[in-house]
A and B are shown apart, each in its own frame.
Chain A
Amino acid sequence: MSMNYLFFGMFVFYLVGATSAVILNKKDRLCSYTSFMSAAIAALLGIIFSISVIFGDTFSYDLSGGSYLKFGFFIDRLSAFFILVISISVLAVSIYSTGYVREYFGKKNIGYLGFLYNIFILSMVFVASADNAVMFLIVWELMSVVSYFLVVYEHEKPETRKAGFIYIVMTHIGTGFIIMSFLIFVGTSGSYSFGTFAEAGKTMTPLLKDIAFIFALIGFGTKAGIVPLHIWLPYAHPAAPSNVSALMSGVMIKIAIFMLIRVFFVFLGASQSWWGYVVLALGTMSAILGILYAVVESDIKRMLAFSSIENIGIILIGIGASMIFFADGKPILSTLAAMAALYHLLNHSIFKGLLFMGAGSILFSTHTKNIEELGGLIKKMPKSAILVLIGVLSISALPPFSGFISEWLTFQSLLLGFNLKETFPMIILSISAAILALTGALAAFCFLKFFGIGFLALPRTKHAEHAKESNTPMLIGMGIFASLSILLGIFPFYVLPILERITASFIGNLDSFTFSSFATVAIPSSTISLSTPAILALMFIFMLLLFGILFLINRKKQPVYETWGCGQPVSTSRNEYTATAFSKPVQIWFKSLYRPAREIDVTYTTSPLLKESFKFESRIEQVIEQYLYEPVVDFVIIRSRKARRIQTGSIHAYLGYIFGTLVILFMFVIAGGSP
């Protein structure tokens, strides 16, 4: 009974947040507090609710009364997990937002933002809890439309408008494919309820199953940002306000993964292993392409967006492996791979949220998101810097932080592929592991560049010189995520049993195998184990010893002097390495992918020896956008132009169209009605 209160309490608080935002929209400060703190309270309720579902029973509630319009909630452990992910993110981001939106006080309508924010989160919760296809599609569309408005919140900028346009078009293409996939299930089962889809999945012909698989993959893949359907992500996530980007990257793209798991495992029964291979291949491709484009970016938010594509790829690698194992009848291996994927999903929503909030803090205090213009922030914003550093260490998968655990688990599950007796999976899984290793190293490269060039040494421009520390709500929000990153890294053995309950809901129960014992993560029936608390403890001991030794030896003062500049008396920021220079080796290595183009424009004064101005532009092509999308878009536009000829402007022509259509319809009725 109390679960009802929790769930509807959550729902109520989001509505309170939304309505209060509308009512109070003239009073910026009060409005920001009520709408965001309301969301935070709702998130807290959401966390309690989802944990009780995971450890208890599934929750369902039927609101429909009529025959056609069904409206009900069904939350099993998988949905509860995603509500948990949503709620954790919303809690931290909401607290952060109360500080962040001070940027917009007086300039934009805070009530509008607060309203959209709450409705957006509410729609995501509904997507996770819908129990039938119609309600799902309605709230999915609501989520897409509300997020569009959030993306174009700063619509005064033309690039934001373009970003919104690409986003709305891509998301609707995706929705179209989702509808088609659902229609196959509805057609087979005769009902819109998700509960019947699983049965329908068993009775469908293999061809229908394959088609449903592909449509669902394309549809939800567009929302998740899988290559080659990802092109909207690098536009939309940077354009939105940073707190919204944190939610979009952290949570919204994960909802797509949630539905992919539902469709593949629950509805379709993951019976074909070639599906798993396709998912694995797409995941690997997204991972490597995502990080390759992130490495060469100097815009912080665009870099984070590409990194999200990379991490979705890593999650899909885990899910693909899980599907391959499941189709081969190996539930233990399948569970391990799925746990790795879900762990990474949780971790990513936390550390990506942290990094986006960090980017927001940087934007808030320096008004620039170009790494090339930053520098020295660690001295101006010391607390934010440490929190961002924790996010950077997590995303680079370094021990003992959270990213390391999920990457370790993913590698171990790929390694276990050698328990399958055929050689094809062994080769594919090893290739995937090699590419995953490359991805991880490039991610470390990318985020080292971000933190090293953005935060360390001297400020490169006036923007960075005038940076101030972030305000308290922002620090609290980031602090929550930073602590979670550390905790999820040190205590994975508390998280894994929870994940096991969740994977049990779609893979099946494993009776006697446990993946964790005291302070360690262990792979069952092998000697492989990992204990991050032990590693952390060892490191602490060594660090203390070293610090002590260094402190005691040679207690002279340390003279401070200029950085070594080959004997030249230089110590300006002009000497520092730039972000572009830092990523140049990778750009040269993958030259054939990036196709860099360089343009140099020189204007001379009267003499050819004296230059007036020198413009250097270096560009990188987005290969998929250029060679896949642009031709298709051009084709569509050309055909549409030709089709415009129907619109003659003459009333007689339009009446003629109506008449023609009527005649054809009459003929259909006649033909259909004949016995």
Chain B
Amino acid sequence: MLGYLRRNPSLAVGIVLLSLLALFVIVGNLTVDTSLARPLSVRALQPPSWDHLFGTDRQGRDLLAVMVAGTPLTLKIGFVAGFIGVGIGTALAFTAGYYRGTVDAVIRGVADVGLTVPGLLVLILIAVSVRGGLTVNEMAIIVASLAWLNPTRTIRSQVLTLRERGYVEVARLNGMSGPAIILREMLPNLLPYLAATLVNAVSAAILASVGLEVLGLGPVESPTLGMTLYWINFNAAILNGWWWWWLAPTVIILIVFLGLFFLTVGLDEVANPRLRRSA
């Protein structure tokens, strides 16, 4: 396993970055008082010091507490939406790709049209229509509602290729039922690809949720990463020189996205050996 990691540096880097993040969150939640993430808990606008390692923001939140409390929330939205998206996407993709015909035409049509529409905008429309403040769970569901589009399309094309393989033909001739073929012959072969798609979907979901939050459409009470960015923008933190306020979330978001990105690239290489870097 370690030998493989050496040949697949992207995967290694991705795993390292995400592990660091996990460590931060776990250790943080055990050691830091997360009630300090609520507004008016501490003195406002303090630069980093021993009392407040990441400093404090304008509404009197301890930023370390905010990061520790908020990061898992953002990640949770991403994971939930990503999983739901890929789950639905896989089911639809296999149905469309294996059975073809009108079912395929319909599913593919919907996915194609859906992909032309910028997801963020539709999400904005949905978020604005749903009155009242959003909770973290509602955010996840809203993001999930569009998260299945891309996975459906990409998994479907893989299914189409697999369908023509010899062993599928043999299974069909042996009288295996459609669902059985899908579950026992095709799915196991696609697992690496599905894993890569999942990570990709999670990354996209986090991006979408952070985007919504930056616009002010997120769960306003929660200390998620995106909401922090929103407050930063709202209070013109950059122009005012409160560098510590935006440094922490920026770094953490960077690590999240870079980690997920390298993980995706690494998994892509596992799924498709031809992508391996040539000498």
Q: Do A and B bind each other?
A: no
Q: Which of B's residues lie within 8 Å of A, judged by CB?
A: none
Q: Which of A's residues lie within 8 Å of B, judged by CB?
A: none
